[in-house]
Amino acid sequence: MTAQILDGKATAKTIKEELRARVEKIVEEGAVRPGLATVLVGADPASEIYVAGKHRDSEAIGINSIRKDLPEETTQEELFEVLDELNSDPACTGYIVQLPLPKHIDTDAVLEYIDPQKDADGLHPVNLGRLVLNVNKPITTPLPCTPRAAIELAKRHGIDFNGKHVVVVGRGVTVGRPIASLLTRREHNATVTLTHTGTTNLPELLKQADIVIAAAGVPHLVKAADLREDAVVLDVGVTREPDPETGKQKIKGDVEPAAKDKVAWISPNPGGVGPMTRALLMQNVVESAERAWEAEKAKR
* pLDDT tens, residue by residue, 163-191: 999 999 999 999 999 999 999 999 999 99
Catalytic residue among 7, 16, 54, 260: 54
| Residue 208 among the catalytic residues | no
Q: Are 168 and 180 in contact (CB under 8 A)?
A: yes
Catalytic residue among 7, 57, 119, 121: 121
The model's pLDDT over 140-163, given as tens digits with 9 standing for 90+, comes to: 999 999 999 999 999 999 999 999
The model's pLDDT over 242-292, given as tens digits with 9 standing for 90+, comes to: 878 777 888 899 999 999 999 999 999 999 999 999 999 999 999 999 999
Q: Which residues contact 218 (CB under 8 A, 6 or more apart)?
A: 197, 237, 239, 254
| Residue 98 among the catalytic residues | yes
pTM here is 0.94
What is the 8-class DSSP label of residue 271? T
Exposed, middle or buried by CB within 10 Å (0-12, 13-18, 19+), for 162? exposed
What is the 8-class DSSP label of residue 3? P
Q: Which amino acid is at 287?
A: E
Annotated binding residues for NADP(+), as ranges? 170-172, 238
Catalytic residue among 98, 119, 252, 262: 98
| Percent of the chain at pLDDT exceeding 90 | 91
CA distances from 146 to 150, 178, 217 (A): 6, 9, 14
The model's pLDDT over 61-101, given as tens digits with 9 standing for 90+, comes to: 999 999 999 999 999 999 999 999 999 999 999 999 998 89
pLDDT of 75: 97
Annotated binding residues, as ranges? 170-172, 238
Exposed, middle or buried by CB within 10 Å (0-12, 13-18, 19+), for 239? middle
Q: To which H or E segment does residue 207 belong?
A: helix 202-208
Q: From the CB of residue 107, how many other CB atoms can be counted at a distance below 10 Å?
A: 13
| Residue 249 among the catalytic residues | no
